[in-house]
Structure 1
Amino acid sequence: MTTLKPLAERMRPETLEHYYGQSHLVGPDGILRKMIEARRLPSLILWGPPGVGKTTLSEIIARSLGANFYSLSAVHSGVKDVREALEQIAKDGGGIFSSDIRPILFIDEIHRFSKSQQDSLLGAVEQGVVTLIGATTENPSFEVIRPLLSRCQVYTLSPLSKEEMLALLHHALTSDEMLSKRHIELTETDALMQLSGGDARRALNILELVTLSTTADPLSITNSLVSEHVQANPIAFDKGGELHYDIASALIKSIRGSDPDAAIYWLARLIEGGEDPSFIARRLMISAAEDIGLANPNALLLANACAMTLDRIGWPEGRIPLAETVIYLACSEKSNSAYNAINNALTRVRATGNLPVPLHLRNAPTELMSDLGYGAGYLYAHDYPGHFVQQQYLPDAIVGERFWQSDEANASEVQMMNRWRLRWGQKSEE
């Protein structure tokens, strides 16, 4: 008795005509379609989330070109397996001069290969023994070694759109041998779209699960029917991966852009994804200093208080002070003048090296140092009206240079800048 394959496997297309999604790559003007038609294919890295057709596309490419196709999974393979695959390719007649179409070596989840495992591919790719197609869900900039990356073209695959997903599901209902025997209608699709999240494999699995759960014919697939049979899909999140940093970056940029709704949304994504609350608190303290700064110094006090509160009250109540802080920071006036000032000063320090401290600013804890002029001529500011006296504080070589520039849009900074200008005999600005 033959075991029935899962629907997602039964619906795996063999040609581009039945391949859904990635029109930017395989549509009429897609770069990969043009390469296939020209029969000139470089080594590739296909980067995208699960279920968007990386493996299927690789098989279609090989079939369209008539190329021998060899497949390895980085989860179960090592250097030995790579060498054996390359030896098998050579034994089968693959190689530089045997054909105008090189054999294709497909490596699934290539990001799981170690550096030495990826190194073992370099010679074959460089010499043209094989065309490598690597599939990865992780950013190849971080996970693929530079020498291999430089020998491959990287193409990004996107989650399927709602329209592409609906087209795929309708195709399955009308063309699959099992489903087409029944009268099945997609009456409501919101739940199915939300649970699949652009993952074609998951969408087909959900469709199969729902249709197998009932013998009703005709069958109307509704949101409630899907929700009844399918558990909610966990929020996509990887604490150690790119998505972790992308969402954290979106939170900080939403705060910087003064959008409290977007900021609170990205905070919720971090929380729901299981992010460490202390990581979020640290990022908020940085944002308070970098993006709000002198425009509202209380922001840093609140961010620091939020971190302390988290330590005291724990989780899940800690989400409340985090939300309060995020909204406060997003709604606060912004200034990065302190951030720019320290960066400007660091740049000058690196360019000028160890400029000597003016003698009058140096301490003279010993008699010898006093005899050498350390501290001579220093004017103690508190002895003068307004606790201010004009004297040189910068090294001789950079006297008069400016590192801090106030943001004239912020009243608190304008007040500080005008005080500074008046003390140094400069004209204040309204």
Structure 2
Amino acid sequence: MNDANTRPLAERLRPTSLDEFLGQNKILGESSMLRQSIEADTVPSMIFWGPPGCGKTSLANVIHLNTQKRFVALSAVESGVKDVKAVLAEAKTYQNLGKGTILFIDEIHRFNKSQQDALLKAVEDGTVTLIGATTENPGFEVNSALLSRCQLILFGPLSTEDLSHLAKLALKEHPRGMQLSDVEISDETLLKLVSQADGDARFLLNQVEWIAKNLNGKKVIDAKLLDAIQYKKPLRYDKSNEEHYNLISALHKSVRGSDPDAAVYWLHRMIQGGEDPRFIIRRLMRMAMEDIGLADPNALLLATAARQAFDFMGVPEGLIGLDEVAIYLALAPKSNSVELAGMKADAVIKKTGTLPVPRAFRNSVTKVGEQLGYGNGYMYDHDSPGAYSAQEHLPKELVGTEIYSPTEYGREKKLAERLAELKAIKASKVSDK
């Protein structure tokens, strides 16, 4: 093993050409436009979006080593508006001399609005070709004006095959790697090492380097050795941006799709990622109302009880209640009739405005109200057969409007039957008049 180079293994193994670049075949295939642009040195302004360790910075490095243009790199963590304006001023000078500039900004999502705005004109007039790299959804983190001036390049996590190949290169074959040609690693151990990396090449190379430097003369990397020195990579998750919304969406759709296995899986992905269980409980309560509703009113009661149980018991015991609710909701009959009724009521009100309350339903709590006839004509339902008077309660302009339409699912079927019975009584009373 050559220790002369003290740079981390992940840095030493950065590709220097497209032929060395590993993975991302969808965007860098032989006939891809991006590959052709890099080879022709005509890359446009771009935003690289993908998870950590998927090759965004490495591809920028390949462009750097293969372009005739000036290449300037900034880190959004360390740079401010002053730094950006200084680079743009230099780039303008070089542009006037006929030489272009590529500006690479790593973690561009960390730039605030004013910092991103400082780039707009320079990108638009070609003073710089911008390449920004981000792990966050550009739709949330990059100004729409700047995003519209760039091509969005989507990177995916590296595949198991790509990472397995990279690990073998790093351990044995690559001239800038660990060069441990006499050390053996079984396919099973290699797969475990790769699986822990979760698509992240940088994490994998850090693991390989750590293991290689702690072999202490051993010639075999086995599962026992891996367990002794390996640390667990945290799950990719953020509690406010892309993964937060992706995972809660997957949980909600799994419940709506009556899939209890997927519901519990996505719920625990969020828990292990560090999500606040109370946020999940709030969403489970929403699912109980939005997707189950009157098909099983107990769903909301159970979700509310789970919230109370969690507040009382905390972690970890209280989390069992979340699993119980997720499974119950997934298997419950589904109805969105309550949500649709609310939406229809909103639409009717938006269309017809604030129609007056019929006088029969107004309270005559003042002398003026009595003089105006408030309450006249009201029929007290408990004095009618079946405690149902069949009177019209809507404004006269909306008589006959149907807002709630029950489904035939679960317990709501009984409500549908009850509603049909009431409508029949009302129809018979109208025909008798």
Q: Give the TM-score normalised by the residue count of structure 1.
A: 0.93
Contact 2:333 2:410 in 1 (8 A): no
Distance 2:332 2:386 in 1: 31
Number of residue pairs matched? Answer: 422
Cα deviations across residues 9-60 of structure 1 (Å, max 9, x unaligned)? 1111011111111111111233311333454322111111111111111122
Shift of the 371–29 alpha-carbon distance from structure 1 to 2, 3 Å rule, reads farther
Cα deviations across residues 165-205 of structure 1 (Å, max 9, x unaligned)? 11222333212345335323331223212221111111111
Cα deviations across residues 132-190 of structure 1 (Å, max 9, x unaligned)? 00011111111111111111111111110101111222333212345335323331223
Shift of the 426–30 alpha-carbon distance from structure 1 to 2, 3 Å rule, reads farther
User: Displacement, 1:427?
Assistant: 12
2:132 counterpart residue number: 134
Q: 2:121 aligns with which of 120, 123, 127?
A: 123
Matches within 5 A, 1:234-273: 234-273=234-273
Partner of 1:213, secondary structure, is coil
Moved more, 351-360 or 381-390: 351-360
Distance 1:398 1:239 in 2: 45
2:423 counterpart residue number: 424
1:227 counterpart residue number: 227
Matches within 5 A, 1:26-425: 26-37=28-39, 39-91=41-93, 93-94=94-95, 98-99=98-99, 102-172=100-170, 173-177=172-176, 179-180=178-179, 182-187=181-186, 188-216=189-217, 219-408=219-408, 410-425=409-424
User: Displacement, 1:4?
Assistant: 2.4
Distance 1:426 1:125 in 2: 71
Contact 2:361 2:378 in 1 (8 A): yes
Amino acid at match of 2:65: R
User: Displacement, 1:2?
Assistant: 5.5
Distance 1:339 1:42 in 2: 46
Partner of 2:179, secondary structure, is helix
User: Displacement, 1:249?
Assistant: 1.9
Partner of 2:382, secondary structure, is helix
Distance 1:259 1:124 in 2: 50
Shift of the 207–324 alpha-carbon distance from structure 1 to 2, 3 Å rule, reads same
Contact 2:48 2:153 in 1 (8 A): yes
Distance 1:51 1:319 in 2: 32
Contact 1:341 1:403 in 2 (8 A): yes
Distance 1:178 1:162 in 2: 20
Cα deviations across residues 283-318 of structure 1 (Å, max 9, x unaligned)? 111111111110100011111111111111222211
Cα deviations across residues 359-411 of structure 1 (Å, max 9, x unaligned)? 22222212222222322211111111111121212222222122222222x14
Contact 1:46 1:136 in 2 (8 A): yes
Moved more, 338-347 or 28-37: 28-37
User: Displacement, 1:3?
Assistant: 4.2
Amino acid at match of 1:133: I
Distance 2:425 2:360 in 1: 24
Shift of the 411–3 alpha-carbon distance from structure 1 to 2, 3 Å rule, reads closer
Contact 1:83 1:120 in 2 (8 A): yes
Distance 2:163 2:177 in 1: 20
Distance 2:167 2:310 in 1: 46
Contact 1:293 1:335 in 2 (8 A): yes
Contact 2:12 2:177 in 1 (8 A): no
Identity rate of aligned residues, in percent? 46
User: Displacement, 1:420?
Assistant: 1.4
Partner of 1:50, secondary structure, is coil
Partner of 2:69, secondary structure, is coil
Distance 2:311 2:102 in 1: 54
Shift of the 386–427 alpha-carbon distance from structure 1 to 2, 3 Å rule, reads closer
User: Displacement, 1:250?
Assistant: 1.6
Partner of 2:58, secondary structure, is helix
Partner of 1:278, secondary structure, is helix
Amino acid at match of 2:87: A
Shift of the 229–176 alpha-carbon distance from structure 1 to 2, 3 Å rule, reads farther
Amino acid at match of 2:173: T
Amino acid at match of 1:24: K
Distance 1:128 1:169 in 2: 40
Query: Aligned-residue CA RMSD in angstroms?
Result: 2.1
Q: Give the TM-score normalised by the residue count of structure 2.
A: 0.92
Distance 2:312 2:410 in 1: 35
Shift of the 177–284 alpha-carbon distance from structure 1 to 2, 3 Å rule, reads closer
User: Displacement, 1:262?
Assistant: 1.1
Q: Structure 1: which 5+ runs fail to align?
A: none
Shift of the 31–362 alpha-carbon distance from structure 1 to 2, 3 Å rule, reads farther
Amino acid at match of 1:25: I
Shift of the 402–64 alpha-carbon distance from structure 1 to 2, 3 Å rule, reads farther
Distance 1:42 1:395 in 2: 61
Distance 2:63 2:177 in 1: 28
Contact 2:41 2:68 in 1 (8 A): no
User: Displacement, 1:235?
Assistant: 2.5
